């Protein structure tokens, strides 16, 4: 009555899809062990890798777990051990990974009474704790894999999208922490019709590019006229890193989730590795501590 899960890191927004688009990575993720116990409740017994609260009410995995437990026909509870490999505040869905892993494992241990969309709803409660807003663009891809589109929040409607086989992501993380709640607060709450038209043109283009295996179209569509101009100011060397990735052959690049990580998409692993070296070189030149990794989209 115990299960071990890998919960992937995710890139949310993917430039033009603020709060609606996300993609799962295979190179980084949290590991969790979840176990059924007779005592009712959710108990986090161990966290390795990061200094995070063990109190279940203050931990995203605990909060997501309580949301599931409330709806489950089950008298007992769960114990959770977390090996936290994703740094909180890095922009690759740290809170989403733990929230999703917890509810996926609990559902599995209960014999899968809930649908994937139900699980997204529970995991979103973890996101609410982490960022004040229950956004689903990290938890949905963490749960479904590959790309997902949140077509609607009310009612929740998740559309899984399969990326072309040769699509790879490079993610570089400058070692600063940006809280999602802070980086949401600086955003404007209104936009002009002109900006909206550009943005939904790109989002449609990106989805079409993914479905038609059109790498050029994917690249052309990786533009963000709403969020990137504001948030990029918080990220050291953003413009230089982005330019270096494009010069090295990336299809496109942008901010991963709420930052500070920067992502680039490339065709083929070799290109993605080349992009990684180019991004790294910028940070070495300007003296920014960082780590970088390449993932296959799957
Ligand atoms: N869509 C969210 C945001 C993702 O950009 O604030 C946070 O990881």
What is the spatial distance between Cα 263 and Cα 144, in angstroms, rounded to a whole number?
20
d(CA 9, CA 22): 10
Which of 10, 100, 125, 127 is the catalytic position? 127
Residue 136 contacts residue 124 (beta carbons within 8 Å): yes
Which protein residue has the closest C-alpha to ligand 1 atom 4?
257
Q: pTM, whole model, 2 decimals?
A: 0.97
Task: Give me the pLDDT at residue 249, please.
Answer: 98
Ligand 1 test: best mutation among 95, 127, 135, most atoms within 8 Å of CB?
135
Kindly state the average pLDDT of the residues 57-80.
Answer: 97
- 95, 22 Cβ separation under 8 angstroms: no
Give yes or no for residue 156 having a pLDDT over 90.
yes
107-114: long-range contacts, CB 8 A cutoff, minimum separation 24: 107/68, 108/3, 109/1, 109/2, 109/3, 109/34, 109/35, 109/36, 109/78, 110/72, 110/74, 113/72, 113/73, 114/68, 114/71, 114/72
Structure tokens at 227: 């969020």
CA 205, CA 198: separation in Å to the nearest integer? 11
Band of pLDDT at residue 298, cut at 50, 70 and 90: confident
Q: What is the CA(19)–ligand 1 centre distance, in A?
A: 6
Least confident of 86-90, 190-194, 235-239, 281-285: 86-90
Instruction: Return the number of other C-beta atoms located less than 10 Å from residue 292's C-beta.
Output: 18
CA 267 to chain CA centroid, Å, is 21
The rounded Å distance from CA 12 to ligand 1 centre is: 6
What are the tens digits of pLDDT across the range 39-65?
Answer: 999 999 999 999 999 999 999 999 999
Q: How many other CB atoms are there within 10 angstroms of residue 128's CB atom?
A: 17
Q: Rounded to whole angstroms, what are the CA distances from 159 to 93, 149, 170? A: 19, 5, 24
Q: How far is the CA of 89 from the centre of ligand 1 (A)?
A: 11
Q: Quick one: average pLDDT of 185-212?
A: 97
Q: Is 79 a catalytic residue?
A: no
Cα distance between residue 106 and residue 77, in whole Å: 9
Tell me the average pLDDT of the chain.
Answer: 97
Reported ipTM: 0.99
Which of 61, 39, 48 has the alpha carbon at shortest distance from 106?
A: 61
pLDDT of residue 199: 98
Across the range 233-250, mean pLDDT stands at 97
Q: Is 127 a catalytic residue?
A: yes
Instruction: State residue 152's pLDDT score.
Output: 98
What the block records as the tokens of 263 is 């992502």
Q: What are the tokens at 3?
A: 């299960």
pLDDT given at position 49:
93
**Residue whose CA is at the smallest distance from ligand 1 atom 8:** 257
Residue 221 pLDDT > 80: yes
- What mean pLDDT do residues 22-44 have? 96
% pLDDT > 90, the chain: 98
Q: Determine whether 261 is exposed, middle or buried from the number of CB atoms within 10 Å of its CB (0-12, 13-18, 19+).
A: buried
Q: What is the mean pLDDT of residues 250-264?
A: 98
Q: Which residues line ligand 1 (CB under 6 A)?
A: 12-13, 18-19, 93, 135, 137-138, 180, 184, 257-258
Confidence (pLDDT) at 109: 98
pLDDT digits (tens, 9 = 90+) for 87-133: 999 999 999 999 999 999 999 999 999 999 999 999 999 999 998 99
Average pLDDT of the residues in 136-147: 98
């Amino acid at each position: 009555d115990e299960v071990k899960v890998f919960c992937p890191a995710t890139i949310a927004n993917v430039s033009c899809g603020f709060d609606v688009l996300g993609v799962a990575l295979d190179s980084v993720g949290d590991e969790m062990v979840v176990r059924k116990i007779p005592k009712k409740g959710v108990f986090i017994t161990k966290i390795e890798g990061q200094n995070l609260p063990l109190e279940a009410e203050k931990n995203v995995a605990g909060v997501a777990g309580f949301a599931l437990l409330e709806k489950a026909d089950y008298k007992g509870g769960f114990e959770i051990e977390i090996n936290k490999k994703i740094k909180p505040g890095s922009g690759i869905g740290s809170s989403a990974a733990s929230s999703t892993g917890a509810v996926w494992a609990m559902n599995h241990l209960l014999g899968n009474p809930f649908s994937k969309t139900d699980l997204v709803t529970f995991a979103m409660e973890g996101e609410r704790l982490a960022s004040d807003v229950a956004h689903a663009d990290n938890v949905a891809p963490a749960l479904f894999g590959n790309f997902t589109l949140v077509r609607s929040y009310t009612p929740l409607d998740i559309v899984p999208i399969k990326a072309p086989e040769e699509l790879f992501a490079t993610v570089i993380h400058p070692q600063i922490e940006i809280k999602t709640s802070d980086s949401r607060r600086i955003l404007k709450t209104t936009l002009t019709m002109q900006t909206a038209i550009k943005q939904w043109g790109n989002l449609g283009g990106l989805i079409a590019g993914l479905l038609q295996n059109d790498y050029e179209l994917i690249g052309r569509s990786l533009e963000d006229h709403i969020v990137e101009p504001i948030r990029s100011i918080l990220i050291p060397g953003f413009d230089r890193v982005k330019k270096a990735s494009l010069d090295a052959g990336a299809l496109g690049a942008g901010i991963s989730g709420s930052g500070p990580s920067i992502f680039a998409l490339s065709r083929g692993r070799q290109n993605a590795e080349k992009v990684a070296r180019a991004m790294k070189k910028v940070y070495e030149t300007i003296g920014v501590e960082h780590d970088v990794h390449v993932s296959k989209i799957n």
